Structure 1
Amino acid sequence: MADLSSVERIYIEKPGTSQATAQSTVEKPNLFKNRNFILLWLGQGTSLIGDQFNMIALPWLVLQLTGDSVALGLVLALMGIPRAIFMLVGGALTDRFSQRTVMLASDIGRLVLTAALAGLILYGHVEMWMLYAYALAFGTISGIFLPASSSIVPKLVTRDELQTGNSLVQGTSQLSLFVGPVLAGAVIAFFAAGGAKSAMEGIGLAIAIDALTFVVSVATLWLMKVDAGNTAKNDDIIGSIREGIVFVFGDPTLRALFVVLAAVNFLFVGPFLVGVPVIANDRLVEGAAAFGLLMSAYGGGNLAGILASMSIKPKPSITGYLTMGIIALFGIGIIIVGSITSTWIGCIVMAILGIFNGFLAIMLITMLQKIAPMAMMGRLMSLAMLASTGLVPVSQALSGFLIKYGVGELFAACGLLIIVMAAGMLLLPEIRGIGSKLL
């Protein structure tokens, strides 16, 4: 494992004082007194709400202009594909220039794009080719932004505060999924009552609100004072990406964690996104309303799990066992989801599953960030994001095919495979002893 001295604390000792004694005399830092972290949290939290305005308004705009679901799919694909592709480039750029610099440049770019689109809509000059171009450019910049945003917290807080910092950031992200769409839908619906022209004004206003949230994000990033040290020296982007991949596969602990990320997401996300609507439609009398309740319960559970991770911090010596134990329980939960026949019981099951998922997500993110050297942080987080999402389209397509043979059977098979994977991982000494790398 590479030297982690770049992220270790530095203690100032008096002559004759041991490091342990010096550590005990240092006042424990308070996360809420950390100016840089508070600026990040407020700025990105505001921007995340704006993102939800964009996610509601843009599809609605496409449908208002064309009424064509194919055009909507193309816009979303033009945004999603470059976002996935450029995550690796974003990781390399992050390690080259620093997280703050990449985030600031990306948010300025997205501010310009979003403000321009809002202006075109409000003045009645928007056309579909502009939306295709906007989606392509926005997705590309977002792909560069994401690794920087996911790797900046270790730069701002101490190792002891890392899990709490991740919990606050991820919890705010989850909360924005509740608040943002409701506010965006209310704005658009209010204007839509006045007719087609007013509806377009409402969409334009929603996009303009997103642009304003980028102003807040740019301002807070600009005000942050972050040392840009520990940046990579490799100017070759492809070489830098290759260096990150070699580093991950060359470290047994990281390699195992990446396998866990890829396997759990492959075995869960596809069956979940495809199977839960089928269960609601085929088994639950409330139909679409049941689907909404189940997904809300899962989202609420996620938020509860993330918040719980702020106060529940396991000892490093049991971290490997605890992580695989939670993954095994997660597998059991997936099996139970496949047998849901009651909406309210299903909501309880989904909420518990969400709690496991939220807590597990923070644990895995924090472990990766503690193990990774700061100079590799952007690339490792971009690879982790790719491992989490790269196989999801395959998982969804395969689930859509296999679900014809029984939704319960699909969930049972995936849950059992997750349990077996968790048990198998505990046979690896690098997982059982992962706590030694988290100190």
Structure 2
Amino acid sequence: MTTTTTAAVTAAPARPAHRDPNVLRWVGAYTASTLGDSVYYLALSWAAVSTGTPAQAGLVMAVSAVPRALLLLGGGVVADRLGPRRVVIGSDAARALVVLGLAATLFLASPGLWVLAAVGVVFGIVDALFLPAVGALPPRIAAPDQLARIQGLRGLAHRCGAVLGAPLGGLAVALGGPTAAFGAAGLLFALSVPLLGTLRLRPLPATDEARGGTALSDLADGLRYLRGHRVLGPLMIVVLLSDLGFVGPLNVGLAVLAERREWGASGIGWILAGFGTGAGAASLLLTVRGRVPRAGVVSGWTMVLGAVSIGALAYTPSLPVAVAVGLSVGLLAGLSGALCNALLQTACDPAYLGRVSAVAGLCSLGLAPLSYPVTGAAIGLWGVGPVYVVSAAVCALSGGYGLLVPAVRKAELPR
């Protein structure tokens, strides 16, 4: 008689994230939501410009940033208390209802700018809930060794939304005006809800269950956890410095550079296309490869090399060279950012991930955009070249700091 021991039984290997139906449903929902974002913002800008002055339109576009920045940390507490899937479903359902309601209002009447501004405020509030929950969801749908792949998939979905969303929104505006575009955005948000509802979540370990207390005490507890963590605390500084050095040249400096080199608006488009292609390639690499050895070291050095490319962009002699440099910025900075996100999710206790993701989002979406007016004023005083060099130095400082902190430099992704 033969016996079979437990040791002889080999467990089937885990399915890679890019072949896991559960993960792919999440990617589909995230892609639909990202497309909805792009279409919504295009429709909002068009409706605002059509209704008011350029200054008023700019104010309408900016109002969502204030509640998002003020409430983002609270959104992290909500994500950890209620669970990320529930919050993401509620957020996308709320966005669908609000935007479809706006489409119906525009179809029946001609409301003033105050309605668009009010929708922008609501959108900012919902974003403050949505963003931390999105950051906390991946570890609940896949094993830790698949989180790098999920970051790659998330990057590809984001690029897909950015590349396809604007043409889709433009087509909707051309066919039916802002009403049709808002309707399309609302339907895309609604599409994500049933996909998210079918996700199977991995349970939290018993020791990671949410603790009792008030929302304020939960927030303070999360900040203490982040400050005392050997990897996550320094990683927040890396994220903040990299975004502070990166967003100004890309969002403000690029327009000035294209104007002074007489590349025109199409030149900006080509450079951004090169950047998007490089960032997409970095995401694809992570999706297929799944794990990058010595992730902390690779993240630091790719940011340092990406900083060199950022500085070089101001001194490129021709548009084709600028596009190639933009591609290298996207590839290097995109890989560094994706690895930072993957390390954040694997190093963090899942019970704190909503709050930690909220702090990372605050660094990227709340504090980094403050560099826009500083970048514009500095270019007016000292010119494009010196400002790009200083911005590149800040990005290089980000990568260098990560390499100097032993816990970040030695950080690895799970096998």
CA distance in 1, matches of 2:401, 2:263: 40
Q: 1:40 aligns with which of 2, 20, 26?
A: 26
Matched residue SS, 1:391: helix
**Corresponding residue number in structure 2 for 1:351:** 327
**Corresponding residue number in structure 2 for 1:409:** 386
Q: 1:241 aligns with which of 212, 219, 225?
A: 219
- Preserved CA contact (<8 Å) 1:96 1:235: no
In the alignment, does 2:245 pair up with 1:267?
yes
CA distance in 1, matches of 2:365, 2:20: 32
CA distance in 1, matches of 2:404, 2:158: 35
CA distance in 2, matches of 1:414, 1:356: 16
- With 142-151 and 404-413 compared, the bigger mean Cα shift is at 404-413
Q: 2:308 aligns with which of 332, 356, 371?
A: 332
Q: Which amino acid aligns with 2:288?
A: S
Within a 5 Å distance, the mapping from 1:22-171 to structure 2 comes to: 25-32=11-18, 34-66=20-52, 68-171=53-156
- With 149-158 and 26-35 compared, the bigger mean Cα shift is at 26-35
Q: Which amino acid aligns with 1:77?
A: A
Q: Which amino acid aligns with 2:196?
A: L
CA distance in 2, matches of 1:204, 1:111: 14
Deviations 1:296-326 (A, max 9, x none): 211222112211222345554x222222111
**Corresponding residue number in structure 1 for 2:269:** 292
Q: Which amino acid aligns with 2:411?
A: I
- Preserved CA contact (<8 Å) 2:172 2:184: no
Deviation at 1:417, TM superposition (A): 4.0
- Preserved CA contact (<8 Å) 2:149 2:287: yes
- Preserved CA contact (<8 Å) 2:299 2:335: no
Q: Which amino acid aligns with 2:17?
A: L
- Preserved CA contact (<8 Å) 1:370 1:438: yes
Matched residue SS, 2:210: coil
CA distance in 2, matches of 1:416, 1:211: 41
Q: Which amino acid aligns with 2:361?
A: M
Deviation at 1:125, TM superposition (A): 4.6
Q: Which runs of 5+ in 2 are unaligned?
A: none
**Corresponding residue number in structure 1 for 2:296:** 320
- With 31-40 and 380-389 compared, the bigger mean Cα shift is at 31-40
Deviation at 1:75, TM superposition (A): 1.6
Distance 1:362 1:124, change over 3 A: same
Q: Which runs of 5+ in 1 are unaligned?
A: 1-13, 192-201
Number of equivalenced pairs: 408
TM-score (structure 1 length as normaliser) = 0.87
In the alignment, does 2:196 pair up with 1:221?
yes
In the alignment, does 2:360 pair up with 1:374?
no
Deviation at 1:347, TM superposition (A): 0.5
Distance 1:174 1:315, change over 3 A: closer
Deviations 1:328-352 (A, max 9, x none): 1011111211212200111011111
- Preserved CA contact (<8 Å) 2:148 2:291: no
Distance 1:343 1:184, change over 3 A: same
Deviation at 1:405, TM superposition (A): 0.8
**Corresponding residue number in structure 1 for 2:255:** 277
CA distance in 1, matches of 2:330, 2:34: 20
Distance 1:408 1:90, change over 3 A: same
- Preserved CA contact (<8 Å) 2:304 2:395: yes
Deviation at 1:134, TM superposition (A): 1.5
CA distance in 1, matches of 2:69, 2:156: 23
- Preserved CA contact (<8 Å) 2:96 2:186: yes
Report sequence identity in percent.
25
Deviation at 1:438, TM superposition (A): 4.4
Q: 2:281 aligns with which of 288, 301, 304?
A: 304
CA distance in 2, matches of 1:30, 1:291: 37
Matched residue SS, 1:94: helix
In the alignment, does 2:181 pair up with 1:206?
yes
Q: 2:229 aligns with which of 251, 254, 271?
A: 251
Deviation at 1:92, TM superposition (A): 0.5
Matched residue SS, 2:315: coil
Deviation at 1:261, TM superposition (A): 0.6
Q: Which amino acid aligns with 1:280?
A: A
Matched residue SS, 2:404: coil
Deviations 1:379-424 (A, max 9, x none): 1111111122332233222212222212112222332343345334
- With 304-313 and 293-302 compared, the bigger mean Cα shift is at 304-313
Distance 1:114 1:341, change over 3 A: same
Deviation at 1:93, TM superposition (A): 0.6
**Corresponding residue number in structure 2 for 1:395:** 371
Matched residue SS, 1:434: coil
- Preserved CA contact (<8 Å) 2:152 2:282: no
In the alignment, does 2:414 pair up with 1:428?
no
CA distance in 2, matches of 1:245, 1:101: 23
Deviations 1:119-145 (A, max 9, x none): 111112533322222111121012111
Matched residue SS, 1:310: helix
Deviation at 1:32, TM superposition (A): 4.9
